């Protein structure tokens, strides 16, 4: 689970514009009062992308790295006959 930054209510009040700017950038915060959670500051739904909302509301994690690297690792040939041979056999069975 992704950890939301915890911010005391006094700190939040004194630096609200800075935290609002960070929320605008997709970050989320748990606001505390004397160590107890009292609220969350999350990006507005209209401004946040679907991924930003998943990160903020459902504790999803953003992907890292390149999908192309993963695809290269998975590109090893699969054992078995080529697709063209399988299709030719299926077509022959229909005739």
Using a 10 angstrom Cβ sphere, with 0-12 exposed, 13-18 middle and 19 or more buried, the burial of residue 52 is buried
d(CA 68, CA 86): 28
Mean pLDDT across the stretch 18-44? Answer: 92
User: How many distinct structural domains can be found in the chain?
Assistant: 1
pTM score, whole prediction? 0.48
Q: Stretch 4-23: mean pLDDT, rounded? A: 94
Each residue's pLDDT tens digit, 57-81: 777 888 888 878 877 777 666 678 8
Domain that includes residue 30, residue range? 5-94
What CATH number does the domain containing 70 carry? 3.40.1620.10
Which residues on adjacent β-strands are paired with residue 37?
Answer: 32
Q: What is the mean pLDDT of residues 31-47?
A: 88
Q: Mean of the pLDDT values across residues 85-95?
A: 89
Q: Residues near 24 by Cβ (< 8 Å), separated by ≥ 6?
A: 43, 47
Split at pLDDT 50, 70, 90, the class of 1 is very low
Beta bridge partners of 39: 31
């Amino acid at each position: 689970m992704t950890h939301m930054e915890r911010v005391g209510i006094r700190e939040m009040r004194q630096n609200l514009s800075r935290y609002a700017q960070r929320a605008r950038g997709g970050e989320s915060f748990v606001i505390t009062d004397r160590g107890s959670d009292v609220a969350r500051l999350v990006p507005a739904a209209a401004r946040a992308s679907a991924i930003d909302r998943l990160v903020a509301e459902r504790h999803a994690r953003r992907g890292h790295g390149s999908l192309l690297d993963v695809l290269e690792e998975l590109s090893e040939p699969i054992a078995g006959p080529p697709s063209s041979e399988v299709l030719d056999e299926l077509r022959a069975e229909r005739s």
